[in-house]
Amino acid sequence: MSPFNLETCARPNILALEPYRCARDDYKDDGTNILLDANENAYGPALTASAASAAKSGSGPEIDFLGLHRYPDPHQRDLKQLLCNLRNTHHHTDKVTTPDNLFVGVGSDEAIDALIRCFCVPAQDRILVCPPTYGMYSVSAQVNDVSLVKVPLLPAPTFGLDVPKVSEALSDEQNHIKLVYLCSPGNPTGSLIAKDDVRQVLEHASWNGIVVVDEAYIDFSPDGASLAEWVSEWPNLVVMQTLSKAFGLAGIRLGAAFSPVPVARLLNSLKAPYNISSPTSALASHAVSTDGLATMRANMRKLVAQRERLIAELPRVRGVGRLRGGVESNFLLYEMLNGDGKPDNATALKVYEMLAESRGVVVRFRGKEHGCLGCLRITVGTECEVTRFLEALGSALAEVNGHAVADVPADEEKREDEASGVVA
C-alpha cells in the first residue's frame, strides 16, 4: 500500500480551514420557511413570467427559473448520488462510492486548481505531468506559483506511462512533488493509461502525494474503464470527470472529482459556497438520470460510428499519415504528410489554417506537442460534418502539396499501410 499521509501531504492552512457555513446548513428549507438569512431579493429574479415560461418550454428538465433569486444547494448531494450510481460498476472493487466521495465544480478545471491549492505550497512544491497532455494542468500550476516536473509518455502510438521514470522522479525528495496528473484517455493522445501502471504509481514505496486521473473522455472507452470507484480503495487517488464531452453539456460547466472521503472533505471546504448554479444542477441531474443516460448512449453510438468511419476513410486521403495514439475518445490524432511523404509541422499548420480560413472547418494543430510531429487533432462530428471535413481535408492537402484531389490508389494505400502500421 501507499505510504500516503494526508496530514503531512496537505497544506497545514487547508487542514485547519473551517468551511463557510450558512444558516441553511443548520436549518433545512422544507419549502414553508420564510428565508431571511442570506440577503436574497425576496421579490424574485429580473425575469418576466413570460420569459421564464419560454425558457422552460420544451422537452428538457424542469428548471424553476423564477426561483433563481435563491442561492443554490451548496452540497448537491442528490446530484452526487446520481454520479455515484453511474460509476459504482464493481469492475474494480466491491466497495461503493457515496456523495461523501464527491467534489463537484465548474468543469474539471475547478478541481484541477483546487487540488493544487489544497496540496501545493507556492514556490516550494511541484506537480508531475506527462506530455503530451492537457494544458490546464500547467496553467493552473503557473497561476498558483507551482513548478512542473515533466516525464514524457512513451513514444507513439502507445503513448503509455513511463512508470520507471515517473517512479524515479517521485523518489527524488528534492522534487517536492505533491500531485501527479494523468490524463486517461489522454488529450491529445486518445490512449488509456493502463490500470496496472496507475497502481504502480499509487504503490510507490516512499512518495507521499496524490495521483489524479483525468477521465474527461472515459465514456468513449470500453465498459469498465473508469477507475472512479477505485477511490474507495486508495487513500491517494482522485479521479476527475466532466459532463462536457460524452454528455454534450460543455455549456453548463459541470465537473466532478471522485476522491477518498478525507480528500473530498478538504476540497469541499475550500470551494466557493455556492459554486454550482441551480440550472446547472438541474440539467446535470437530468443528464445522469435514466432518461438522460439513454439519450447520451444513443448519441454515443452515432459518434462511435463516425469515429470508425474516420479511421476507415482517413488513410485513403492522399497526404494523411499514421494514426497516432488510441481510439478511446471522441477525437483522433493523425499525421499530415508533406510532398515527400513525411510528417511535417509546416504542412500540418498550413492545412489547419486553410481548413479554417477557406473551408469553414476548424480542427486543432497539435504538432508542437511532445511526440506529435505534423499532427492534427480531429474531433468526431456528425455524419454531415465528417463528410464535409473529409472533402475539405482532401482538397486542402492537395493544394498544400500540389497534387490532384484523389483517394490514395489501392496499391499505394497498401504500401503506406504496411510501412506505417495503419490498419484501415
Quick: pLDDT tens for 221-279: 999 999 999 999 999 999 999 999 999 999 999 999 999 999 999 999 999 999 999 99
- Could you give the strand order of the β-sheet that contains 375-379, starting from the edge strand earlier in sequence? 320-324, 331-336, 375-379, 364-365
157-168 burial string, b = 16+ CB within 10 Å, else e?
A: bebbbbbeebbe
Cell of 383: 455524419
Rounded to two decimals, what is the model's pTM? 0.91
Which region holds residue 248: left if phi is over 0, alpha if psi is between -120 and 50, else beta?
left
For 95-138, what is each residue's pLDDT tens digit? 999 999 999 999 999 999 999 999 999 999 999 999 999 999 99
* DSSP assignment of 386-408: HHHHHHHHHHHHHHHHT--S-BP
Three-state DSSP class for residue 322: strand
Give me the pLDDT at residue 39, please.
Answer: 77
For 57-67, what is each residue's pLDDT tens digit? 655 676 777 68
* DSSP assignment of 278-320: HHHHHHHHHHTSHHHHHHHHHHHHHHHHHHHHHHHHGGGBTTE
Cell of 366: 497539435
Give me the pLDDT at residue 192, please.
Answer: 97
Give me the pLDDT at residue 56, please.
Answer: 63
Tell me whether residue 293 is exposed, middle or buried, using C-beta atoms within 10 angstroms of its C-beta: 0 to 12, 13 to 18, 19 or more: middle
Give me the pLDDT at residue 406, please.
Answer: 62
CATH topology for the 6-22+71-288 domain? Aspartate Aminotransferase; domain 2 (3.40.640)
Share of the chain above pLDDT 70, in %: 92
Higher-scoring residue by pLDDT: 419, 18: 18
Binned at pLDDT 50, 70 and 90, residue 21 comes out as confident
Q: Report yes or no: 201 and 180 within 8 Å, Cβ to Cβ.
A: yes
pLDDT at 343 > cutoff 50: yes
Give me the pLDDT at residue 325, please.
Answer: 92
CA–CA distance, 264 with 342 (Å, rounded to integer)? 48
Give me the pLDDT at residue 248, please.
Answer: 95
For 287-300, what is each residue's pLDDT tens digit? 999 999 999 999 99
CA–CA distance, 283 with 265 (Å, rounded to integer)? 25
pLDDT at 422 > cutoff 80: no
Calculate the CA dihedral of residues 296, 302, 307, 308 and round it to 10 degrees: 130
Chain centroid, CA 297 distance in Å: 18
Give me the pLDDT at residue 36, please.
Answer: 75
Domain positions in the chain: 6-22+71-288, 295-420
Q: Which CATH class is domain 295-420?
A: alpha beta
Whose grid coordinates read 511541484? Answer: 126
Q: Report yes or no: 101 and 84 within 8 Å, Cβ to Cβ.
A: yes
CA–CA distance, 220 with 135 (Å, rounded to integer)? 21
**Mean pLDDT throughout 153-182?**
97
Binned at pLDDT 50, 70 and 90, residue 55 comes out as low
